[in-house]
């Protein structure tokens, strides 16, 4: 698709990058069929092709409006662009489009305040005490707030053994207070396989929350801080990988190299960090070999797996958890219908677009519950919390189930 960049964008990196992405789009509309917001709303402008067209208009100098902003806001950034036969990198394009539109279209005060509170609050050190307080008074909270506050659960002990093989793990910003067992379980499972888990104290939020709420400079600052925190471990060759157990963080850290490509001081370090980054499920082939003889308590119950968009589309990691869990003797399946669709969590989307988000959640739960699972498994804290808010069936990270099947748990 040819784009005649308006003068104001011709010399901007964003304009040039967007133009290169747009050039690949042949306007075929294959992507529309798999887009969750198009499926819910049936409006071309709420599908990828329509949004691409809106962004092209802005780049060519047409003034964006609140309506343009609304259609871009409604996008889940679920990365279902993987259905595109031309390889259009829609995810990068929509980040650029949102930034350019927000430069020209102001938001009502309440909306701006909510977005500010999310981008500053979630990665803040105050989030953990606020969550602890919320968990204490959880039974008294109104439903909308209770949905965001998971019940308090114990993290268990972290292993203390040393191993020659070491990995770094990102603890994340909200995960340690919302579901601390995910990080502990990761360390225990790796320990059982002879791999030591290190964490860098100064590493924090991966930067996705700020980046996708249009504070791209704030997001990049968090990315540089993580690189600085990890670099001594990487440079010394002490760690063989940087492990992510939240697929939303994983997809972001794997893109540090792309996002910081024009930053002379960080570009090569960022590329190295992205190269070393792995979702924990990428270790499953070797974990199966190491752990199979040790698994004593593998549940025989039916498990339903919801692959997050950031895992199956963003990182293109499809089928690994199901395949390797089956090899380990678990009874696991994905939904037979719409397994590719987003659950509606999508970072801060469930707060900013609750109506669409809860429709998608209930649709997803309906498909998962058809198999009458004893537990629902997923791979991202956002999806886990969001799905749990709509069902009594326990929703857990798959690493917690693997951990619980080990004898020491």
Task: State the nearest-atom distance from the C-beta of 383 to ligand SF4, in Å.
Answer: 14
Taking CB under 6 A as the criterion, the residue among 36, 134, 219, 250 binding ligand SF4 is: 36
Q: Binding segment for ligand SF4 among 46-54, 56-64, 243-251, 370-378 (CB under 6 A)?
A: 46-54
Report the distance separating Cα 249 and Cα 19, nearest Å.
27
> Can you read off the two tokens belonging to residue 49?
């092709």
- What is the SS3 assignment for 396? strand
CA-atom Rg of the chain in angstroms: 21
Taking CB under 6 A as the criterion, the residue among 3, 37, 196, 226 binding ligand SF4 is: 37
35 binds ligand SF4 (CB under 6 A): yes
Spatial neighbors of 390 by CB under 8 A, at least 6 apart, are 358, 361, 362, 365
51 binds ligand SF4 (CB under 6 A): yes
220 binds ligand SF4 (CB under 6 A): no
Lay out the sheet containing 165-169: strands in order across. Answer: 195-198, 165-169, 242-244, 277-279
Report the distance separating Cα 267 and Cα 273, nearest Å.
10
Q: Binding segment for ligand SF4 among 3-11, 32-40, 262-270, 373-381 (CB under 6 A)?
A: 32-40
Task: State the nearest-atom distance from the C-beta of 295 to ligand SF4, in Å.
Answer: 37
212 binds ligand SF4 (CB under 6 A): no
x-or-dash pattern for ligand SF4, window 74-93, by CB under 6 A? Answer: -xxxxxxx--x-x-x-x---
In which element (H, E) is residue 377 found? strand 375-378
Report how many residues bind ligand SF4 under the rule CB under 6 A: 26
- 380: Cα within 13 Å, side-chain hemisphere: 26
- Of 73 and 228, CB closest to ligand SF4: 73
Spatial neighbors of 187 by CB under 8 A, at least 6 apart, are 158, 159, 169, 197
69 binds ligand SF4 (CB under 6 A): no
Please give the residue ranges that form the binding site for ligand SF4 (CB under 6 A). 25-31, 35-37, 47-49, 51-52, 75-81, 84, 86, 88, 90
């Amino acid at each position: 698709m040819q784009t005649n960049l308006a003068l104001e964008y011709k010399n901007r990196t964003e304009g040039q990058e967007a133009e290169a992405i747009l050039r690949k789009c042949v306007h075929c509309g294959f992507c529309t069929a798999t887009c969750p917001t198009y499926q819910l709303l049936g409006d071309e402008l709420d599908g990828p092709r329509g949004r691409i067209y809106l962004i092209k208009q802005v780049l060519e100098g047409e003034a964006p409006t609140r309506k343009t902003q609304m259609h871009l806001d409604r996008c889940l950034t679920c990365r279902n662009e993987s259905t595109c036969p031309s390889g259009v990198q829609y995810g990068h394009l929509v980040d650029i489009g949102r930034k350019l539109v927000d430069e020209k279209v102001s938001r009502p005060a309440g909306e701006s305040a909510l977005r500010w509170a999310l981008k500053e609050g979630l990665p803040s050190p105050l989030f953990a005490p606020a969550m602890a307080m919320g968990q204490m008074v959880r039974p008294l909270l109104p439903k909308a707030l209770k949905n965001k506050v998971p019940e308090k659960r114990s993290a268990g002990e972290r292993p203390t053994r040393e191993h020659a093989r070491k990995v770094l793990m990102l603890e994340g910003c909200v995960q340690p207070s919302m579901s601390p067992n995910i990080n502990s379980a990761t360390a225990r499972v790796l320990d059982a396989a002879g791999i030591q888990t290190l964490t860098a104290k100064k590493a924090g939020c991966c930067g996705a929350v700020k980046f996708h709420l249009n504070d791209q400079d704030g997001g990049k600052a968090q990315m540089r801080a993580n690189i600085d925190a990890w670099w001594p471990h990487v440079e010394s060759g002490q760690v063989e990988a940087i492990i992510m157990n939240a697929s939303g963080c994983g997809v972001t850290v794997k893109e540090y190299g792309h996002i910081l490509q024009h930053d002379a001081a960080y570009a090569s370090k960022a590329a190295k960090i992205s190269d070393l980054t792995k979702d924990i499920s990428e270790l499953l082939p070797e974990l199966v070999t190491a752990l199979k003889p040790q698994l004593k308590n593998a549940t025989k119950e039916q498990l339903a797996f919801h692959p997050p968009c950031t895992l199956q589309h963003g990182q293109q990691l499809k089928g690994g958890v199901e395949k390797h869990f089956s090899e380990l003797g678990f009874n696991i399946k994905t939904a037979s219908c719409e397994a590719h669709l987003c659950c509606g969590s999508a970072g801060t989307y469930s707060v900013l677009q609750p109506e669409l988000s809860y429709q998608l959640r209930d649709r997803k739960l309906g498909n998962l519950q058809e198999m009458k699972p004893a537990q629902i498994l997923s791979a991202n804290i956002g999806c886990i919390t969001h799905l749990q808010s709509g069902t009594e069936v326990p929703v857990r990270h798959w690493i917690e189930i693997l951990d619980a099947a080990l004898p020491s748990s």
